[in-house]
């Protein structure tokens, strides 16, 4: 059980709904039990503006909620996603550097590379034979 005191950052994340479900439940319970904490939440709600919500951490947490599936990452590798979706994933993986999706993508890339050599060999053979034809002409 997580017994850390609920701080302002946690309350902000609670309001932004970026906490994992267990943490959301923990804050909710604490709010029920403490009128002091409810007052604090009200303060945070009124003062938060949007400052804290645009920190990289907050963006990461928000984006983490919309991690790509393996299928989406596979399509991304094959450049088969629609451009907006691909842009979003590129941002998610390269700018936000989501470790979860990076790991998934690296794994898929590894599998794709293992499957690729056969195709490359085939391509090379075609290339070599056409080169042979060209040099035969000269
Ligand atoms: Zn992700």
The per-residue pLDDT for range 102-115, each reduced to its tens digit, is 999 999 999 888 87
Could you tell me if residue 36 is inside a domain?
yes
Residues 75 and 35 in one domain: no
* Distance of CA 45 from the midpoint of ligand 1 (Å): 28
- Residue 24, Cβ density class (10 Å: 0-12 exposed, 13-18 middle, ≥19 buried): middle
Judged by DSSP in three states, 50 sits in: coil
Average pLDDT for the chain? 79
Domain membership of residue 1 (yes or no) is no
CA of 61 to the centre of ligand 1 (A): 9
**Does an H or E element contain 57, and which?**
helix 56-64
Question: Does the pLDDT value for residue 56 go beyond 70?
Answer: no
Count of structural domains within the chain: 2
* 12-26, 51-65, 86-100: least confidently modelled range: 51-65
Give the C-alpha separation, 112 to 135, whole Å: 34
Residue with the bigger pLDDT between 126 and 94: it is 94
Cα-to-centroid distance, 59 and ligand 1 (Å): 11
Shared domain for 23 and 51, answered yes or no, is yes
Q: What's the CA-to-centroid distance between 36 and ligand 1, angstroms?
A: 36
pTM: 0.41
In this structure, the answer to whether residues 29 and 80 fall within a common structural domain is no
Q: CB–CB of 13/61 below 8 Å?
A: yes
Distance 98 CA to ligand 1 centre (A): 5
Percentage of the chain beyond pLDDT 70 is 69
Q: What is the pLDDT of residues 65-102, one digit of tens each?
A: 578 899 999 999 999 999 988 988 998 888 878 888 99
Same domain (yes/no): 51, 77? no
Measured distance CA(83)–CA(89) in Å, rounded: 10
How close is the Cα of 42 to the center of ligand 1, in Å?
31
**How long is the chain?**
138
Residue 38 sits in the same domain as residue 93: no
Higher pLDDT, 134 or 10: 10
User: Does the pLDDT value for residue 135 go beyond 60?
Assistant: no
Cα 8 to averaged position of ligand 1 atoms, centre (Å): 26
Q: How far apart are CA 10 and CA 136, in angstroms?
A: 74
In a domain, 3, yes or no: no
What distance in Å separates the CA atoms of residue 128 and residue 113, rounded to the nearest whole number? 22
Statement to judge: residues 50 and 88 lie in one domain: no
Q: Are 130 and 75 found together in one domain? A: yes
For the cut 70, the answer to whether the pLDDT of residue 63 exceeds it is no
Give the integer Cα–Cα distance in Å for 6 and 36: 11
**37 Cα distance to chain centroid:** 32
Q: Give yes or no: residues 71 and 122 share one domain.
A: yes
Domain with 50 in it: 8-55
CA of 112 from ligand 1 middle (Å) equals 20
Residues 43 and 70 in one domain: no
């Amino acid at each position: 059980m997580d017994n850390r005191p609920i701080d302002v950052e946690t309350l902000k994340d609670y309001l932004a709904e970026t906490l994992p479900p267990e943490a959301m439940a923990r804050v909710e319970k604490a709010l029920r039990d403490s009128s002091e904490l409810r007052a604090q939440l009200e303060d945070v709600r009124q003062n938060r503006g949007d400052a804290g919500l645009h920190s990289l951490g907050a963006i990461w947490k928000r984006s983490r909620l919309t991690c790509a599936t393996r299928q989406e990452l596979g399509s991304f590798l094959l450049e088969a996603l629609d451009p907006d979706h691909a842009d979003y994933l590129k941002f998610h993986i390269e700018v936000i550097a989501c470790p979860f999706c990076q790991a998934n993508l690296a794994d898929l890339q590894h599998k794709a590379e293992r499957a690729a050599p056969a195709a490359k060999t085939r391509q090379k053979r075609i290339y070599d034979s056409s080169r042979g034809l060209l040099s035969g002409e000269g």
